[in-house]
Amino acid sequence: MQKETFSFIILAAGKGTRMKSSNSKVLHKVAGEPIISLIINKILSIKKKILIDKIVVVLGRDSQDIKSFIEEIFKGIKIVIQHEQAGTADAVLSAKKIFRNYKNKIIILCGDTPLISSKLLLNLTTLGASFRLGLSGFKSLKPFGYGRIVLNSSKQVSSIIEEQNASASQKKIDLCNSGMYVSESKLLFSLLSKVKFNTKKREMYLTDIIYLANKDNIEIGITYNDEIDSLGVNNREGLAMAEKEMQNILRKKAMEKGVTLIAPETVFFSKDTKLARDVEIGPNVVFGPGVKIGEGVKIEAFCHLEGVTVKKHCTIGPFARLRPGTVLEESAKIGNFVEVKKSKINKGAKVNHLSYVGDSDIGEKVNIGAGVITCNYDGVNKNKTTIGKKSFIGSNVSLVAPIKVGSNALIGAGSVITKDIPNNMLAVERNKQVTIKKRNKK
Ligand code: UD1
Ligand code: CA
């Protein structure tokens, strides 16, 4: 079967006032990824099923931050500017010039729905095959805030009424508008040209196209979707709800892939966390963006990882913090109260207790004793520490970087090391102990 072609318009020019934020609403993150990026990636994920022509994002005049973000991450996304935030209908109209004489169908999405699923998107494309105009709806026990879909006596969609314009009986309708539509291009812009300013809000509602189409006897299709798929983030509470739902999705996915989560509800992933099978994760572990964990790795309770690659069979924690730029090679061990930043811990090396390792290359099978600190920062520059394989660094050693310790070297406990140590040497930097007779108390 020939794949159908669709274009997408994502509305993201709203002021997002309800977020009470200095940052744009659609750049707020869910599972570590900006909402707008989650939506664009979801569209791109159905590339195998449909042909995607244009993806247009409608932004406000002051949305340089969103524009820069999109241009940095994605290629070929068209940005159009809505000069005044005069409502969702006006936002779609700002993309009109791009779709002059356009023959394919257009799918309109809101920029504030981080949990949008490929199933929902595909349902809209299917709807578009049989209807000139269609929309997605969901039933909700808490419909407050959403536009309500009004059906006529023969259960056909006849209009959408916004919360603030709804009568008491309309507010009881539990069928909500997801804010996602599919339409023939020509029909869409002809309906939009008839939308009037809403007198109460001084806005043009996109939802009015439904009533206008119905008036012209155009049959409106509807696809029913899960409520969470179209959860719209309007405020911080909505953001927290979206995060909660997204985490549940990510936890379920991890377990389906063969990852053990001892207490799933306490583990937090990023959208891009990559986990191989037989990874075991204890309670209260947090994954920031950019983490990749290999097969059979065990992460004990209360660890925080971000920007880290962990090869197979490593063990981490409890209470470890692995920061960006860190690589743990196979079977490395990071123990409790250890912080590692931008360092490579080679195969079988151990940093088991109370250490800070930064800007370092720790050789194979090295043993880092309790309390070892790499002094990587001299107040101006970050300096490197290199330790050759099989060396043994005694407890409470300070390695003042830049410093090179050879392989098979030994450093006595408590030493402050400021000079390089060649292979196979023993270094101790410590005052001689004095043991003398105690003075007797009178
Ligand atoms: C909108 C729908 C509502 C639906 C809900 C689903 C309208 C009038 N209402 O309400 O029926 O249930 O979404 O989440 O459409 N935007 C612009 N320019 C503007 C105004 C908004 O681009 O001038 C963008 C926003 O950035 C946002 C989207 O359109 O991404 C929706 O706007 P928002 O203010 O969040 O609408 P809701 O009140 O949620
Ligand atoms: Ca919204």
End-to-end CA distance of the chain: 102
Confidence of residue 403 (pLDDT cuts 50, 70, 90): very high
Angstrom distance (rounded) from CA 12 to CA 33: 16
User: Residue 286's closest CA among 263, 305, 264, 271?
Assistant: 305
Q: Output the DSSP codes for 42-81.
A: HHHTTTTTSEEEEEEEEEETT-HHHHHHHHHH-SS-EEEE
pLDDT value for 387: 98
Residue 200 has pLDDT above 80, yes or no: no
Q: Which two tokens stand for residue 54?
A: 């244009």
Angstrom distance (rounded) from CA 245 to CA 231: 10
Q: Whose CA is nearest to atom 22 of ligand 1?
A: 13
Q: Is the peptide bond before 143 cis (omega within 30 degrees of 0)?
A: no
pLDDT value for 352: 98
Pocket around ligand 1 at a 6 A CB cut-off: 11-14, 58, 82, 85-88, 90-91, 110-112, 146-147, 160, 162, 176-179, 205-207, 232, 234
Tens-digit pLDDT profile for residues 356-371: 999 999 999 999 999 9
Angstrom distance (rounded) from CA 91 to CA 85: 7
Three-state DSSP at 5 gives strand
Q: Whose CA is nearest to atom 19 of ligand 1?
A: 87
Q: What residue type is 112 in one-letter code?
A: D
Residue 15 has pLDDT above 90, yes or no: no
Q: Which CATH superfamily hosts domain 5-230?
A: Spore Coat Polysaccharide Biosynthesis Protein SpsA; Chain A (3.90.550.10)
Neighbours of 272 (CB within 10 A): 15
Beta bridge partners, 373, equal 356, 398
Radius of gyration of the chain (CA): 29
Annotation says 353 is catalytic? yes
Q: What residue type is 99 in one-letter code?
A: F
Q: Whose CA is nearest to atom 13 of ligand 1?
A: 179
Beta bridge partners, 52, equal 6
Neighbours of 424 (CB within 10 A): 13
Q: Whose CA is nearest to atom 16 of ligand 1?
A: 14
Tens-digit pLDDT profile for residues 299-350: 999 999 999 999 999 999 999 999 999 999 999 999 999 999 999 999 999 9
Nearest ligand 1 atom to alpha carbon 112: 30
Angstrom distance (rounded) from CA 144 to CA 36: 24
Query: What are the residue boundaries of the structural domains of the chain, listed by start?
Result: 5-230, 250-427
Three-state DSSP at 171 gives helix
How many angstroms does the Cα of residue 47 sit away from the middle of ligand 2?
26
Q: Answer whether 0.85 is exceeded by the pTM.
A: yes
Q: Hey, what CATH topology would domain 250-427 get?
A: UDP N-Acetylglucosamine Acyltransferase; domain 1 (2.160.10)
User: Residue 357's closest CA among 347, 84, 371?
Assistant: 371
Residue 442 has pLDDT above 80, yes or no: no
How many CA atoms are closer than 13 Å to the CA of 256, on its beta-carbon side? 6
Q: What residue type is 347 in one-letter code?
A: K
How many angstroms does the Cα of residue 179 sit away from the middle of ligand 2?
8
Residue 1 has pLDDT above 70, yes or no: no
| Nearest ligand, measured from the Cα of 177 | 1
Tens-digit pLDDT profile for residues 125-176: 999 999 999 999 999 999 999 999 999 999 999 999 999 999 999 999 999 9
Q: Is 390 within 8 Å of 364 (Cβ atoms)?
A: yes
pLDDT value for 202: 85
Q: Which of 110, 206, 234 to mutate to test the pocket of ligand 1 (most atoms within 8 A of CB)?
A: 110
The domains spanning 5-230 and 250-427 adopt the same CATH topology: no
Q: What residue type is 143 in one-letter code?
A: P
Catalytic residue among 28, 304, 313, 353: 353
Q: Is 421 within 8 Å of 411 (Cβ atoms)?
A: yes
Tens-digit pLDDT profile for residues 42-83: 999 999 999 999 999 999 999 999 999 999 999 999 999 999
Q: What residue type is 209 in one-letter code?
A: I
Q: How many helices (H) and strands (E) does the chain have?
A: 8, 39
Tens-digit pLDDT profile for residues 204-239: 999 999 999 999 999 999 999 999 999 999 999 999
